[in-house]
Structure 1
Amino acid sequence: MPRISAPSVGQHREQVHRRVFEAFSTLLAGHSVDAITMAQLAAAAGIGRTAIYHHFADKEAVVVAFASYETGRYIQDLEAALADIDDPSQRLALYIRHHLDAGQQFHIGSGGHFYGTLSPTAMLAIREHVVVVEDVLRSILSDGVAAGTFIVDDDVTAISLIHACLAPRHLPAPAVERFILRALGAQR
């Protein structure tokens, strides 16, 4: 029977999951997702090679849980940053900067190559995390349209195009911010 290192089983599970996510994040800095093994992940997290399977059925389960964990942290930080800002242009500028600053921390390495190997269920779970982020942007755009700050004919297309502009990490953030705000008709 595994030894628990917390006052309760639930707290122990949270600690182990956090260690696995931290180890996964560290391993991602030097490896693609598909190159990381469950044994490497267990060793980096400081848990037994078989113990990791008590928490995650396989690497795909780790990826989905990691995405949920990272999305939760990302949204919490973003909403805290947006809390005191009312102006839609400033809110969108902050969203853009926040997204660009998050960089690779929020985006799992190896992109489409790895995601193409995920099961349809895992892909759907990952997509749900993307929708949570899109909902924040959708709210900013909706408020901006209501205030007469932005011109958005189709929010689905606008969200997709904005996120496409946020993908190239080599561009200066102020240039990306100006481009997106101008594209939406914002006067700054």
Structure 2
Amino acid sequence: MPKLWNETIEAHRSQVREAILDAAGALASDRGLRGVTMSQIAERAGIGRATLYKYFSDVETILRTWHVRRIDGHLRELAAVRDGVGTPGERLAAVLTSYAHIARQSRGHDRELVTFLHPDEQVVHAHNQLRELIGQLVEEGVRSGDLRHDMPAAELATYSLHALGAAAEAGDDAGIARLVALTMGALTSRP
């Protein structure tokens, strides 16, 4: 019985923590970084302030934790796409398309919030993981003959990420498709 009790308590704690992060993320998106208070987060999460302080000491810590959770989710999503079916070139195009959609989703974020969240070393680590994920697909594509072989895979991966940074300004899915097609064209063209 104690094991089941402990599992139940841990599940509840996890649910509360997730509710806190969801509430903070929604408030930050709606009101910007400076428009979020601990009281608002507690109210939106449906908990008391005392309970909130048992989990997190301040708004900044909550928002950083929320951001890391989002990044981890994006990386898992992209890894699942990478591990899908198809040739290396097809899987690369699918990963780049998913990445472009993620970039477009982030375009409306409050600039102050983005500046606050992005200098974090965890973001740098996640970006390196993303570059590695794309680099692996590029290497597979080079070996299979799907992609150009005159440049190092790491450079092609970095190029792809920077090129698809433009997706943040894409107005619709058709714009993303054009950017991905342009990027894939550059990766497949032969010298």
* TM-score normalised by L of structure 2: 0.75
1:40 and 1:161 map into 2 onto residues whose CA distance is 37
Indicate the residue corresponding to 2:98 in structure 1.
98
Q: Which secondary structure does the structure 1 equivalent of 2:95 belong to?
A: helix
Matched to 2:72, the amino acid is: G
TM-fit CA distance, 1:15: 0.6
Report the Cα distance in structure 1 between the residues aligned to 2:82 and 2:135, rounded to whole angstroms. Answer: 14
1:40-97 CA-to-partner distances (Å, cap 9, x unmatched) read: 1121111112322211222222122112222232233333333232412211221122
What CA deviation, in whole Å up to 9, does each residue of 1:107-154 have, x standing for no partner?
A: 78224x33444696xx11232233333332222222222323223442
Aligned to 2:186: 183
CA distance in 2 between partners of 1:35 and 1:126 (Å):
23
Paired letter, 1:126: V
Query: Counterparts in 2 of 1:43-122, with a 5 A limit?
Result: 43-103=43-103, 109-111=109-111, 113-117=112-116
Change (3 A) 1:130 1:44: farther
Write 1 or 2 for the structure with the bigger share of helix. Answer: 2
State the distance in 1 between where 2:36 and 2:60 align. Answer: 11
Structure 1, unaligned runs of 5 or more: 1-5
Task: Say if 1:42 and 1:98 are closer, same or farther in 2 by CA, change over 3 A.
Answer: same
Gaps of 5+ in 2: 1-5
Q: Is the 8 A contact 1:150 1:185 kept in 2?
A: yes
Bigger radius of gyration among the two: 2
Alignment length (residue pairs): 180
CA distance in 1, matches of 2:166, 2:41: 33
Instruction: Provide the identity percentage.
Output: 20
What is the Cα-based RMSD across aligned positions, in Å?
Answer: 3.0
C-alpha offsets along residues 6-52 of structure 1, whole Å, 9 cap, x if unaligned?
85442222111111122133224422233222221121111112322
Q: Is the 8 A contact 1:28 1:108 kept in 2?
A: no
